[in-house]
Amino acid sequence: METKSIGLYIHIPFCKSKCKYCDFVSFSNKEHLVDRYINCIKYEIKDIGLSNLRDYTEGKDDLINLKTIYIGGGTPSAIDSKYIKEIIDVIMQNFQVDNNVEITLEINPGTIDESKLKIYKESGINRLSIGLQSTNNNTLKRIGRIHTYEEFLNTYELSRNLGFDNINIDLMLALPEQTIDELVDGLKKVINLKPEHISIYSLILEEGTKLYEEIINEKKYELTDDNIERKMYWQTKEILENAGFIHYEISNFARKGYESKHNLACWNQEEYIGVGASAHSYSNNVRYSNTESLEEYIYNYENGKDIDNLIFHEKQNKESKMKEYMMLGLRKIQGVDINAFKNCFGQNPIYIFKQEIYKLTSEKLIMVDGNCIRLTNKGLDLANLVWEEFV
């Protein structure tokens, strides 16, 4: 038997207040469930670790080695920092963890103070992802963020002063009433802070969110025109690349060597385990998740029915796995590595997907560039059309 390196994701679904654009599985006003939920999280971590050790001992599976740990939400920093420390301690006690493990924690201004950051640092967290979204306070209020830009600056400065040297800043574009000038001004402010990583996502208006109600039904704001949104995207790309950031995935930019290891592993179709309500996993060609219901997740663990939390999504065959490999790989700016595909599947993607590749190259959406199949500039604008060919 061998050692298998994977990622571990922990979902913390609690928030002080739900942002108007958010359709993630997250909840405000459920603080009374935090303690019970964290106990279930720790139970699930132990259970997975013990199951793996047993299977490894019996020769049924490889020994799991964690190369990345990602704690997201929700707002993990909204709960007491002691819980984050307890989670990491339980992980360390029940898994083999890589010496160079990347441990990311998502935090939001308005939920952070120096004492929390100190505990995170002492716990071994070595990468922070700070949710900013915009440097304009009016825009932040418009989308339901609980913090100001000034509070973000304080959070960022505290993090740096305590020694965090791998920080991502989350931004958004095409927000209600956001102008290109406002976006550019915000990008320059963020660049001046010298973060290692910047993620910037276009607003996707999801039905059922407060912002959807305000824009579609109440007509309170207008949805950003597609042409303006694309101008924002390309201006963002130009500004960040000129500032020395490497554009390595459609929405992600990093200083060299600071690409998100956890997310890259997912885009490279590597295995990961998700823990907590709604958390997704990918292992042995099977995709599955936990129930999205917070109460159901807790009830099942507290009553010995944890198997009822699991929802099966897909058992991949070779064909479906190859298609997904292409779809995920074409999220990356460098695209799909042809030799890596051959090593994984024993076949050349150029021949396997000759019809799809011919169609997409004819439409100038992708290009075969040496050993890579990647999106063109036009393909970056119409990436959904490219991915649909491999669904």
Give the model confidence (pLDDT) of 2-41 as tens digits.
Answer: 899 999 999 999 999 999 999 888 989 899 999 999 999 9
Over residues 317-344, mean pLDDT: 98
Give the mean model confidence (pLDDT) for residues 71-81: 97
Write out the two tokens for 293. Answer: 């219901």
- Between CA 50 and CA 18, with CA 281 as vertex, the angle to 5 degrees is 115
**How are the residues of the chain apportioned to helix, strand and coil, as percentages rounded to the nearest 5?**
45, 25, 30
pLDDT score of 53 = 86
The confidence score (pLDDT) of residue 59 equals 87
Which token pair is 350? 């150029």
Over the stretch 97-117, which tens digit does the pLDDT of each residue have? 999 999 999 999 999 999 999
Please report the pLDDT score of residue 60 as a whole number.
Answer: 86
pLDDT of 124 reads 98
Position 57 scores a pLDDT of 86
Would you call 197 helix, strand, or coil by DSSP?
A: strand
What is the fold of 319-388? Answer: Arc Repressor Mutant, subunit A (1.10.10)
Would you tell me how many other CB atoms lie within 10 Å of the CB of residue 71?
27
Please check whether residue 110 is in contact with residue 146, taking contact to mean a CB–CB distance below 8 angstroms.
Answer: yes
The per-residue pLDDT for 302 is: 96
Residue 225 tokens read as 């025109």
pLDDT score for 2: 85
- Structure confidence at residue 63 (pLDDT): 94
- CA dihedral for 64, 69, 72, 76, sign (positive or negative): positive
Residue with tokens 């995170």: 120
Distance CA 243, CA 246 (A): 9
Stretch(es) of the chain classified as CATH 1.10.10: 319-388
The rounded distance, in Å, linking the Cα atoms of 89 and 126 is 15
* pLDDT average, residue stretch 39-63: 93
pTM (2 decimals)?
A: 0.97
Average pLDDT over residues 109-127: 97
The position carrying tokens 């799991």 is 64
CA 5 to the chain's CA centroid: 19
Per-residue confidence (pLDDT) for residue 363, from 0 to 100: 98
Is the per-residue pLDDT at 1 higher than 90?
no
Give the pLDDT confidence score for residue 246 in this predicted structure.
98
What sign for the dihedral angle of Cα 356, 358, 364, 369?
positive
| pLDDT at 331 exceeding the cut of 90 | yes
Residues 349, 347: Cα–Cα separation, whole Å: 6
Range 158-173 average pLDDT:
98
Confidence class of residue 56 from pLDDT cuts 50, 70 and 90?
confident
Q: Which CATH superfamily is domain 3-267 in?
A: Aldolase class I (3.20.20.70)
CATH 3.20.20.70 positions along the chain are 3-267
